Structure 1
């Protein structure tokens, strides 16, 4: 994937941000004797799952996910709008992250699975919902299935200005609403002892009717006293 001259520097930089999978949330193992190359096993993540979707219990496998269109790039992975096979009403935003083997006992997924499980299951009105995590054994990828929303803040704002010239009062109400929703999301993260560290328009999603949600927790950090002290200086 990184075959350019800058590939080694990219790998080195990315290695500093890797998230080690050492607990029950993200415990990656590989049996070199029994499994062929690129076959991965997580302690509690398989290639199929059962979820609650809009009040309905649905069971599906990774093979039933059909890619509709590419949505963008997040921390350590691409995001694709995905539909469940034979169920056009079941739609996800799926984040796909390539798993990397760094050594015999050193495995990394570089993912935001831990944070998504911590905050995405609570159905907070201003945090994107988490549905499931699956393993794509064929491509060696971790797939996180999340709530699919209409657009991101950067695309929404540019589209708005290209079509109409909003009044100052409308812009003021818009900015107030945006600020309120994102602050509520950040306050919720604080209650979970998490700091997002990557708040930007691309990570603010827009739902109807004009509800803003925070997404992409790939570089979240645990909130502690030392960080708190730095932030308040």
Structure 2
């Protein structure tokens, strides 16, 4: 039995809430997705769930499972108590170089792992990089992620869909 305690964030399809297991006192971040907001495009959430099932890496947010109830999907994810990397970056200042290097190495490790599986995240930004215990960075939000390499044939395909968050896009994607 889970008790929702507070809202951690909101997105286009729903919100992320902090949940406490009343039996074990463990916490999880629960992504609550309103099926009505998907406008019949629930293949998107199924893809996110299927991708999450592939991941086993220290720098990727852990996926514990999901359930569908009434008009919502509930994705149970690891709770990263340190919040978003975005909030660690001081406007017009940044962050200490040693800390930036520490996080950057973890982003590279996580992305190398995703690419080894043939997965493109397609929305990498400080808001989708969470900090867990002991300053361990976790890549999250795989709502726009997709496979660029077949899991069976290993054949690669070119991705042509423009997606992501415009201010974080590289110029060659926008042009």
- After TM superposition, the score normalised by the length of structure 2 is 0.75
Alignment partner, residue 128 of structure 1 = 61
CA distance in 2 between counterparts of 1:204 and 1:80 reads 17
Equivalent residue pairs, number: 152
- Summarize the alignment of residues 128-207 of structure 1 with structure 2, pairs less than 5 Å apart: 128-137=61-70, 140-150=71-81, 151-158=83-90, 171-207=96-132
CA distance in 2 between counterparts of 1:96 and 1:206 reads 21
CA distance in 2 between counterparts of 1:199 and 1:66 reads 30
**Shift, 1:117, TM fit:** 1.4
**1:205–1:75: structure 2 CA closer, same or farther, 3 Å change rule?**
farther
Aligned alpha-carbon RMSD (Å):
3.0
**Shift, 1:157, TM fit:** 3.1
Alignment partner, residue 47 of structure 1 = none
Q: Where does structure 1 lack aligned partners over 5 or more consecutive residues?
A: 1-63
CA distance in 2 between counterparts of 1:134 and 1:84 reads 15
Larger Rg computed on CA atoms: 1
Alignment partner, residue 144 of structure 2 = 219
**1:107–1:73: structure 2 CA closer, same or farther, 3 Å change rule?**
closer
CA contact (8 A) 1:205 1:212 kept: yes
CA contact (8 A) 1:197 1:219 kept: yes
CA distance in 2 between counterparts of 1:107 and 1:196 reads 19
CA distance in 2 between counterparts of 1:203 and 1:129 reads 14
Q: Where does structure 2 lack aligned partners over 5 or more consecutive residues?
A: 149-155, 161-169
**Shift, 1:141, TM fit:** 0.7
**Shift, 1:107, TM fit:** 6.0
**Shift, 1:102, TM fit:** 8.7
* Secondary structure of 1:209's aligned partner: helix
**1:83–1:188: structure 2 CA closer, same or farther, 3 Å change rule?**
same
Which structure shows the higher strand fraction?
1
**Shift, 1:199, TM fit:** 0.5
The counterpart of 2:20, out of the listed 83, 96, 105, is 83
